[in-house]
Structure 1
Amino acid sequence: MTDDERDRPTVHALLADGTTVCIRSVRPGDHDQLRGLYEEMSPEHLRLRFFAASRRSADLAADRAAAPARPGYRALLAETQGRVIGLAEYETVDDPETAEMSIAVADGLHHRGVGTLLVEHLVSAARADGITTFTADALSENYEVLRLFTDLGLRAGRRFEGPEVRCTIALDEDDTYLAAVEARGRAADVASLEPLLRPDAVAVVGAGRRPGSVGRALLHHLHAGGFTRRLFAVNPHVSSVLGVPSYPSVSSLPKVPDLAVLAIPADALPATAEECGKAGVRALLVVTSGLDPDQAEALMTACRAYGMRLVGPNCLGISNTDPWLRLDATFAADHPRPGTAGVAVQSGGVGIALLDGLSRLGIGVSSFVSLGDKYDVSGNDMLQWWESDGRTDLALLHLESFGNPRAFSRTARRVTRRMPVLTVDAGRTEAGRRAAASHTAAAATRTMTRQALFTQAGITATRSVGELLETAALLHAQPLPAGTRVAIVTNAGGAGVLAADACAEAGLTLPAPTPELIDDLLAVLPEGAAVGNPVDATAAVTEDQLRDCVDRLLRYPGIDTVLLALVPTAIAVATGDDLVRAVTEGPGRRERPVAVVRLEQDLPVKLLPAGEGGAVPSYAEPVAAARALVHAARRAAWLNRPVGTIPELVEVDTASAHTVAETYLAAHPDGGWLDPRTCAELLACYGIPQLPWAWAETEDDAVIAAERLRGADGRVVMKAHWPGLVHKTEQHAIHLDLQGDAQVRAAFRDFETRFAGLMTGVVVQPLAARGTELFAGVAQDDVFGPLVLFGLGGTATEVLADHAARLAPLTDHDVHDLITTPRCAPLLLGAHGSRPADLQGLEQLLLRLSRMAGDLPQLAEADFNPVLATPAAVTVLDARVRLLPRRAQDPYLRRLR
């Protein structure tokens, strides 16, 4: 192989202590540095590495690693600030699926995760090269390397041979290994954010004397907010700003700041970032906007070279309200109220709205990060921070783009088990996506793909900032409902009707009360009350009566939530009753949620203080309350659902599938739509059932094929084919219900005449039986990976758009959701007394499609339409697959953006 073919992309990743290293392939020019790596080792470490304290062995190792690329060998190094600090390599000998590997780490850098990180990247490279097993020899006293192999999360075995140990490591990728990588990445990520969110010293670069400047506003907020650690200004023209000591440069500061806040012109950023890195700064907050590509690249180069984490550019700032720190490096109008909600946004305006809303509600903020253009620190980073900070119990996100959605999804699935994660589903329309791209320089994401990500990860996706705050108020203050059954209580019939409509339209159910419940409620309500659902307690209801009514409803097993729709009345004023007090006084947090609607309320949502430090959410609109209750019920259902598993599949030949794809792309370097025979060969590798068919290039061949394929009724279908043909119906390239040789010949001649110069042949199939026509497919997203779609098929599939989507790989739960979510689901489940479709066959089809998409990064699109579902079987009637020359990427490999 050539050097280019062996070279892997250079990436940066985090060590266990949060510092940054560069991981890249070894090149011939690295020879002297590699020799230096070994020369600096102690005799003891040389002995452990080479089984003898031999400088000659070290020279040979450097020669081998820096030699020109050769088949079966790969070497990766770790370097920081130009110094090589580690090397990992493997080489195959006899078996191309087994490689001998070794690892070396510079003296003084052990126990920081250098070796483990290198081996993770080596494992990823080996898998891409078709290697399934590593072997390694070590001295039995080399406890560090033996522990490294054991703690990887891969299946490792040992065989002792005298003073040596033969280690065997299976490179299977399963959840055990992914979880181990994830845990190491989480610890490193959190450590890297410490200088950013818990700095011991902060410097504001660009804090001037001019009132109204961003730098001065940031410094003022830090100073006025009571930052408890060291604070400096950097300004060469003054000795102090706002009472904060100022110095001419970062390098002249009396203490190296952990965090430097840069509010300077874009053209000054590269040099300042370089100065910060050389001084030992660990994190940058860049509020500057308008960077050109060269400035952006120079900023990131400095951050990666010196291991600095970066928030921004083009952002509002960051805040950590922990009382021992009181870090408020933002230029928002007010300081956020301390609390328990973590907030990460890309839009500064949305950030201000959320900070204000959470402070007003009394929820408050634990930490806030305005991600801006998100060059480095991302929503994934913040989820991991909140998971471990000990202060956050509610996560709010506003993300307009995703860097690594699959890693984000794995993190979110874990975090949402511990706390609610809420987001605004921004960019749902084409206009919104254009705005997102121009505002954050981010690639647009498709709505269906993003919604699939949120659904599978258990993220509560709202449609506006207002809805986000409404839902956050309920999730913060009340327990989750066990289901969707709501009882409405009102003191005004009209308000009850509005609440009932809102709940029903949102998807909540309003069960009718049982006779026993009716008697129970009438015993405490005033005369004239109507006990249905809603319960009309009338304007005459007293505070005590309403409290008894609510308490009895909450004890009733057929109700999950009680919603009160209350209006102020002269009667209550005259009697001194406060109906709201009926739910805010007494027990604090109840076992079931309670919410209030007050149509006269001036704010969309409030949290009413309740007993024992609790709170009850109060809404100005029934629709808002209903939306929040639906989100809470969905979260409860997601939490109660067991974690999905990816079922094992039989009769899958992945190796042959790779051969089919590679053979096709070798003949078609630019990729394209597979011809029917190649497509059928690929589907057969995954056991995907197809209707019998035959390929014919002449009229006589078509007649012979039809004779062989005719079913009991003697009818066949003929489809024209040429490269690039996708929509046969639109091109009138299909003839149905052909009977006898004469009709088959006439159909073939028609195609020959109309598609002269295009058509390369025809596909002949028996006419399929009656059943439900469905659609199943895959769209490979460059950012999100493969998305599996399913729904109603046939010629109306695009018009009706009755589809559901989930990101691959599909779990058993994902498959169930795909089948039951579309509006056509009742047709499959046996509506109106009909027999259900072969649901097991549908599940298998979707799982096999998902497996194919996961195995083949070259799979750009797959389109099965129609798929015929009958009670007896599920069969693909027409399949189209498009391949592109793409290399596999490991979405879970630890690396920075």
Structure 2
Amino acid sequence: MTDDLLSLSPVHALLADGTTVCIRPAAPGDHDRLEEFYDRMSAENLRLRFFSVSRRSGALAADRACAPARPGHLALVALSPDGVIGVAEYDTGGEGRDTAEVSIAVSDGMHHRGVGTLLVEHLVSAARAEGVTGFTADALSENREVLRLFADLGLRMERRLEGPETRCVIRLTEDDAYLSAVESRGRAADVASLLPLLRPQAVAVVGAGRRPGSVGRAILHHLRSGGFTGRLFAVNPGASSLLGVPCHPSVGALPRTPDLAVLAVPAAAVAATAEECGKAGVRALLVVASGLDADQARDLLSACRAHGMRLVGPNCLGVSNTEPELRLDATFAAGHPLPGSAGVAVQSGGIGIALLDGLSRLGVGVSSFASLGDKYDVSGNDMLQWWESDGRTDLALLHLESFGNPRAFSRTARRVTRRMPVLTVDAGRTDAGRRAAASHSAAAATRTMTRQALFTQAGITATRSVGELLEAAALLHSQPLPGGCRVAIVTNAGGVGVLAADACAEAGLALPALTAETVDDLLAVLPGGAATGNPVDATAAVTEEQLGACVDRLVRCPGIDAVLVALVPTAVAEATGDDLVRALTRTPGPRPRPVAVVRLEQERPVELLPAEGGTIPSYADPQAAARALAHAARRTAWLARPAGTVPELPDVDTHRARTLVEDHLRTSPDGGPLDPRTCADLLACYGIPQLPWAWAETEDEAVLAAGRLRGFDGRVVMKAHWPGLLHKTQQHAVHLDLRGDAQVRAAFRDLATRFEGLMTGVVLQPLAPRGTELFAGVAQDEVFGPLVLFGLGGTATEILADHAARLAPLTDHDVHDLITAPRCAPLLFGADGGAPVDLEALEQLLLRLSRMAADLPQLAEADFNPVLAAPGHVTVLDARVRLLPRRPHDPYLRRLR
């Protein structure tokens, strides 16, 4: 076991039944525990593990697992409060070998609960980080459980019979099949662990007081008045009952152990109360207290992990589940949420109240709600998985100010958004907003570009305000998705039609001309004087019947994806008794395409109008309606695309790349920029095309190098270099178009004189041919991982900031989006009359950059600027790479925070 593996921190993770175990490397001090573990094992279990029933085998296994560290070996133990419940280890037999023998043992009472699988997943992650590419394992052929464990991992496996034994060879490739298998196991365990929190049979409110304004009393009142169907207790040593609920002096004195305990106690008492709950057998905590300091926070989370309790909060509004058979409302919001089908998770209690109120007012209602607060444990990822499986939720609303594991969140969201819309408020878009979010939720908020990349890749509908979120939710809840972005506008007032047309255009929607057949149909049903362009001006004389007929024809028009009806009240309609809104709501059955209404006189920003076929969203402003339709159209486009795949790349030497990085960090432990030679070698490991170059430290070396590099026209470029040089052009550290030895010598002397004491050498390259100058790069985010950036390059790259970004690893769809997103994209496709650049080569460069970033967590930053793109080739002209000492981190490994 290497020093890195020895330093692995203990982690907590969920078993298949939702209980918590601790996983960590075995240490010498575990020897007695492991011997006891094997001593407790049945004779049959010993035989299946060691192929014999000798108790001596267990003692030898304990010796091996707890022996001093040796290369190529790692033993992991799984611990519950009762001691060791499982052990797994791999051994390569020596340093530098890439295949390891693996073994697993699980205590008799813990079979079929996922202990062995969880241990092997952690072994796989650690082994990959050490360069191990395969596991081998021998098992008795009758040991169906362990053979099924290996087969169900999701990794590629081969079996062969060798007498009474079966030999398994497992390849540790991290493909989507393995990640999906890990994800599926994690989802089942996660949902099981949330049952005590979101479907508790008994709840205790600890800290409920007599004072009417206290939070604990308010939550107790909500639970009681909301009709909670389970057992309800209050813990208060100074009262016998509160609000008709029996009180008890402590959690330990309760007549029944509650599944969920609500802690409404002062911050200083939270950790001790959590410990008391854990010892009593409580399975979930809801902590509404705020203001915990670092020590109190650590002690709270330690108590939850030690006793296997899931935790919501602290600093939160509470949770609710409106299932009729449960009716749990453990919040201190002003009123009870309306039962419905929207799942809501927020970090801000205030925004939670606004969303609960808005969804109740709309009639959408809530399936379950969680105010996550400071989010020590239960997260948005947990709630997405709950809604995915609860059978009630068809719309997910999130307000997250921070992300604990965004790559795992992204995989979950990509899956869930295929089944239901997932909407969020993009909070913290500005520097001021990010500072406020970090202060408010005690978590680091991320920059806009990174967060938007996550939302885009995951198919999440990102809105800019709570109001916009509710506007989009109303339409997505009530209407079918549009087939595209083509909208027909109908109005009874021309001016309002103009406003609606502007709003649609600004939202990215199209207003196509109506077909001649549609125009004839409309003229046949509309009053004289109606204009049948798009917008359709039905005039103030339109009747209820005429408007209904017009809309019915438009929703069936083959060139239209959605219909926006903009209405104003008129004296004409009032005089004739026509109700134009009723013309839209009386149609029986759902319409084939979405219909949205704009009523300028409407008091509320958005309402859902009851209709015979369901409901219709009505907006007070055309821009709100257009934004909602645009969100729906983008969701349609996202769903229409198949899930992207990360392409296999030939000619990638990951082993050599990692060796280069390790060698650099060995000589520069604090990291820093790579020198040009090492940088070029690293790019070559990934097949990234570079313009030929040479390094020179003297004038004579520069002349010789220029002679070797001169192209057909004999011109070269010379660039000064020293560690930390960022902008060569701004520093006037570049000489272009050098011809002949004399110009090369003069250029070298100039650079050496001006940058004396700084310059360590020069890079020479042939003068590049003409092409489009682009930028490609990587920024490593501490939480989100590597972000790949692409856009316009050259000296104007920072001024124009024409960049798009996606999180690595890039799929084929991500690469396409990166290339087409920047404003400069038309240049790449030949919009200026020239031939398009080599798009396939450009895609390959971005995929290879993404692979390099995903392979090397030490890659803090990479800048390729400029990248020259032309019809026949794509080449990196200048590259800068900066490394930092970072350990590999597996974002998909199952573990709790």
What stretches of structure 1 of length at least 5 have no aligned partner?
none
Opposite residue 717 of structure 2, the aligned amino acid is: V
Range with greater deviation from structure 2 (147-156 or 807-816): 147-156
Contact 2:486 2:559 in 1 (8 A): yes
| Root mean square deviation, CA, Å | 1.0
Separation of aligned partners in 2, 1:4 and 1:183? 29
Deviation (angstroms), 1:793: 0.5
Q: Distance in 2 between matches of 1:767 and 1:140?
A: 67
CA-to-partner distance for each residue in 1:104-129, whole Å, 9 max, x for gaps? 11121111111110011011111111
State whether structure 2 residue 24 is matched by structure 1 residue 27: no
- Farther off after superposition, 788-797 or 2-11: 2-11
Q: What whole-Å deviation, never above 9, does each CA across 1:492-545 have from its counterpart, x for those lacking one?
A: 001000000000011100001222221221111000001111000000000111
**Cα deviations across residues 258-293 of structure 1 (Å, max 9, x unaligned)?**
000000001111111000000000000000000011
- 1:779 and 1:862 in contact (8 A); partners too: yes
Q: Which residue of 1 aligns with 2:751?
A: 751
C-alpha distance in structure 1 between counterparts of 2:442 and 2:724, whole Å: 33
Give unmatched runs, 5+ long, in structure 2: none
Which one-letter code corresponds to 2:701 in the other structure?
Answer: D
Do structure 1's residue 641 and structure 2's residue 638 form an aligned pair?
no
Q: Deviations along 1:609-651, whole A, 9 cap, x unmatched?
A: 1113x11000000000010011000000000111111111111
Which deviates more from structure 2 when the two are superposed, residues 511-520 or residues 207-216?
Answer: 511-520
After superposing the two structures, state which structure 1 stretch, 861-870 or 587-596, moved more: 587-596
Please state if 1:663 is matched with 2:694: no
Equivalent position amino acid for 2:719 in 1: K
Q: Would the alpha carbon gap of residues 514 and 832 (structure 1) be closer, same or farther in structure 2, given more than 3 Å must change?
A: farther
The 1-side partners of 2:5 and 2:313 are apart by 35
Q: State the partner residue of 2:172.
A: 171
Pairing 1:264-663 to 2, within 5 Å after superposition: 264-612=265-613, 614-663=614-663
The residue type paired with residue 444 of structure 1 is: A
1:731 counterpart residue number: 731
Contact 1:318–1:370, Cα closer than 8 Å, also in 2: yes
Task: Tell me, in whole angstroms, the C-alpha distance in 1 between the residues paired with 2:670 and 2:707.
Answer: 38
Counterpart of 2:17 in structure 1 is: 17
CA contact (8 A) 2:139 2:165 kept: yes
Q: Does the aligned pair in 2 maintain the 1:588–1:615 contact within 8 Å?
A: no
Identity %: 80
Q: Which moves more between the two structures, 574-583 or 391-400? A: 574-583
Aligned mates of 1:621, 1:38 — CA distance in 2: 71
Equivalences for residues 204-223 of structure 1 within 5 A:
204-223=205-224
- Kept in 2: contact 1:3–1:68 (CA 8 A): no
Q: Give, in whole Å, the separation in 1 of the partners of 2:314 and 2:654.
A: 44
Q: Aligned residue for 1:78?
A: 78
SS in 2 for 1:523: helix
Q: What does residue 108 of structure 1 align with?
A: 109
Q: Partner letter of residue 735 of structure 1?
A: H
**Structure-1 separation of matches of 2:139 and 2:744:** 71
1:246 aligns with 2:263: no
Cα distance in 2 between the residues matched to 1:865 and 1:51: 61
Contact 1:286–1:314 (CA under 8 A) maintained in structure 2: yes
The Cα of 1:662 is off from its aligned counterpart by 1.2
Contact kept, 8 Å, 2:319 with 2:371, in 1: the verdict is yes
User: d(CA) in 1 for partners of 2:204 and 2:599?
Assistant: 48
Secondary structure in structure 1 of the residue aligned to 2:100? strand
Please state if 1:767 is matched with 2:731. no
Separation in structure 1 between the aligned mates of residue 155 and residue 872 of structure 2, nearest angstrom: 42
Aligned position for 2:134: 133
Measure, in 2, the Cα distance between the counterparts of 1:541 and 1:657: 72
Would the aligned equivalents of 2:772 and 2:868 in 1 still touch at CA under 8 Å? Answer: yes
Q: Could you tell me how far 1:833 is from its partner in structure 2?
A: 2.3
The whole-number CA distance in structure 2 between the counterparts of 1:277 and 1:90 is: 34
> Deviation at 1:177?
0.8
Q: Distance in 1 between matches of 2:884 and 2:458?
A: 29
Q: Which amino acid aligns with 2:37?
A: L
Distance in 2 (alpha carbons) for counterparts of 1:5 and 1:501:
60
Q: In structure 2, how many angstroms separate the alpha carbons of the residues matched to 1:450 and 1:667? A: 35
CA offsets, 1:200-253, max 9 Å, x none?
000000001111000000000000000001000000011100000000000000
Runs of 4+ in 1 over 6 A off after TM superposition: none
Task: Using the TM superposition, give the Cα deviation of residue 791 of structure 1 relative to its aligned residue in structure 2, in angstroms.
Answer: 0.2
Q: In the alignment, is the contact (CA less than 8 A) between 1:337 and 1:365 conserved in 2?
A: yes
Q: For residue 7 of structure 1, what is the aligned residue in structure 2?
A: 7
Residues 73, 93 of structure 2: 8 Å contact kept: no
The answer for the alignment partner of 1:689 in structure 2 is 689
Conserved 8 A contact 2:21-2:78: yes
- Mapped to 2, the partners of 1:92 and 1:703 lie a distance apart of 51
Deviation of 1:2 after TM superposition, in Å, equals: 5.8
Deviation at 1:82, TM superposition (A): 5.7
> 1:850 — aligned with what?
850
Q: What residue number does 2:714 align with?
A: 714
Displacement after TM superposition at 1:742 (Å): 2.1
| 1:661-707 deviation line (CA, Å, top 9, x unaligned) | 11111111111111111111111111111111111111111122222
**CA deviations over 1:704-728 (Å, ceiling 9, x no partner):** 2222222233222110001111111
User: Within 2, Cα distance between the matches of 1:481 and 1:74?
Assistant: 54
Rounded to whole Å, the distance in 2 between the matches of 1:62 and 1:156 is: 28
2:835 equivalent in structure 1: 835
Give distance in 2, aligned partners of 1:596 and 1:247: 55
Residue 781 (structure 1) aligned with residue 774 (structure 2): no
Q: Deviations over 1:21-41 (max 9, x none)?
A: 000000000000001101111
State the one-letter code of the partner of 1:842.
Answer: L
- Alignment-mate amino acid for residue 65 of structure 1: A
2 CA distance for matches of 1:741 and 1:162? Answer: 76
Structure 1 residues 36-70: Cα deviation after superposition (integer angstroms, max 9, x where no partner): 10111111111111111111111111111111111
Residues 777 and 863, structure 2, Cα contact 8 Å, conserved in 1: yes
Measured at CA, do residues 107 and 5 of structure 1 come closer, stay the same or move farther in structure 2, by a change above 3 Å?
closer
Mapping for residues 153-172 of structure 1, pairs under 5 Å: 153-172=154-173
How far residue 832 of structure 1 moved from its aligned partner, in angstroms, is 3.6
Alpha-carbon contact 2:228-2:327 (below 8 Å) kept: yes
Q: Which amino acid aligns with 2:839?
A: L
1:225 corresponds in structure 2 to: 226
Distance in 1 between residues matched to 2:5 and 2:329, nearest whole Å: 48
- Deviation, 1:591, is 1.2
Calculate the TM-score normalised by the size of structure 2: 0.99
Amino acid at match of 2:178: Y
Partner SS state of residue 787, structure 1:
strand
Which stretch of the first structure deviates more once superposed, 706-715 or 846-855?
706-715
One-letter code aligned to 2:648:
E
Tell me the equivalent position of 2:701.
701
Aligned residues of 2:691 and 2:877 also touching (Cα < 8 A):
yes
1:5: Cα distance to partner? 4.8
- Cα distance in 1 for partners of 2:702, 2:82 equals 67
Counterpart contact for 2:133–2:172, Cα < 8 Å: yes
Aligned length: 896
The one-letter amino acid paired with 1:873 is H
In 2: Cα distance, 1:3 partner to 1:106 partner:
29
Opposite residue 186 of structure 2, the aligned amino acid is G
Aligned to 2:197: 196
Secondary structure in structure 2 of the residue aligned to 1:127: helix
Give distance in 2, aligned partners of 1:512 and 1:421: 33
In the alignment, the residues of structure 1 paired with residue 154 and residue 651 of structure 2 have an alpha-carbon distance, to the nearest angstrom, of: 28
Q: Is residue 5–residue 74 contact of structure 2 (8 Å, CA) maintained in 1?
A: no
